[in-house]
Amino acid sequence: MAPPDLRQHETKTQMDFLGSSLLVGFSVLLGLNQALVKIVNDGLAPVFQSGLRSICAFLPVLLYALWARKRLSVSDGTLGWGVVNGLLFSAEFCLLFLALDYTTVSRVSLFFYIMPVWVAIGAHFLIAGEALNRNKILGLGLAVAGVALALSGDLGNAPPGAWIGDLLALCGGMFWAGIALVTRTTPLANSSPEMNLLYQLGVSAIVLTAAAPLFGDLLREPTLFISIVFAFQVIFVVCIGFILWFWVLSVYPATHMASFGLLTPVFGMLFGWLMFDDPLTLTFLAAVCMVGAGIVVVNRPAAKRLDKPV
């Protein structure tokens, strides 16, 4: 299969095999990444790790974009929105990395990746042709009920302050949804995925690094192994993964794309269980099923008569 042309911006109405394959692979990568972030938190403070990751990823992404002759411009009307997306990106990863200090990988995977719910709500108001219908409202109700159950249910042997991490992850997912919506509904929709990512990395590198000292010591117990894990995140998650994610977002319907986020918490829970022996109580698993069912219903294809332009 030929690699995707990342310069393509022709919007499609349905997810195809290429888009599906990329999103499944990205879901596996992100599910693993939550566990890797938690490992690196042992050596680098969470906010400092997040800022340093943006710093390290900025130059490789820029060099790739220049080498591949991708369209890069800050004078095409996207600068202001690029800064907005960078601030959303900063908030998203600040909250996500802090959340992994308080709670388990499995719980973060559920609360953070409920992002498709927030996308569906925002798309109703902001994106033509993606309005909420009866099925979507039912799905949103199921997903929200699942989150409520997970927040109020048995935590098993999760850390005492797990609820703090749960809420941080939940809010982080809202900022991620904000990025998806801003990317689709502003001049950034006409910007290249590489430029979009450079905006976010550049702004977050400054914001997160400047804010890191406010959260305590920058270094904890860094080791060679932690450095290798950190390098993997920079290269494969940020430099490669997010460029592909933004490309898919620019081509495929937002709610159809977001539905694949359902796979990430599954992989996240799997890696959390395998690597950290995360507790998976019956209440939590029931909540996961409710959230998953809700996201499936939210993203069920609408009847043809609803797809006709009005």
pLDDT band at 47 (very low <50, low <70, confident <90, very high): very high
pLDDT of residue 304: 47
203-250: per-residue pLDDT in tens? 999 999 999 999 999 999 999 999 999 999 888 888 888 777 767 766
pLDDT of residue 2: 56
- Mean pLDDT, the chain, integer: 85
Q: Quick check: 263 pLDDT over 90?
A: no
Residue 219 φ then ψ, to 5°: -110, 140
Q: How does 46-74 read in b/e, with b if 16+ C-beta sit within 10 Å? A: bbbbbbbbbbbbbeebbeebeeeebeeee
> CA-CA distance, 156 to 46, in Å (whole number)?
24
β partners of residue 208: none
What is the mean pLDDT of the segment spanning 66-84?
Answer: 91
Answer for the pair 141, 294: CB distance below 8 angstroms, yes or no. Answer: yes
Would you kindly state where each structural domain of the chain is located, as residue ranges? 18-303
pLDDT of residue 261: 62
> CA-CA distance, 98 to 75, in Å (whole number)?
35
Q: Quick check: 60 pLDDT over 50?
A: yes
Bigger pLDDT: 26 vs 55: 55
Distances (CA, A) of 183 to 76, 102, 203, 279: 15, 30, 16, 36
Q: Quick check: 252 pLDDT over 80?
A: no
> CA-CA distance, 74 to 64, in Å (whole number)?
17
pLDDT band at 280 (very low <50, low <70, confident <90, very high): confident
pLDDT of residue 254: 62
Q: Quick check: 8 pLDDT over 60?
A: no
Report the percentage of the chain scoring pLDDT > 90.
39
110-139: per-residue pLDDT in tens? 889 888 788 888 988 888 888 888 888 888
Q: Quick check: 48 pLDDT over 90?
A: yes
pLDDT band at 21 (very low <50, low <70, confident <90, very high): confident
Query: Which residues have C-beta within 8 Å of that of residue 213, sequence separation ≥ 6?
Result: none
pLDDT band at 306 (very low <50, low <70, confident <90, very high): very low
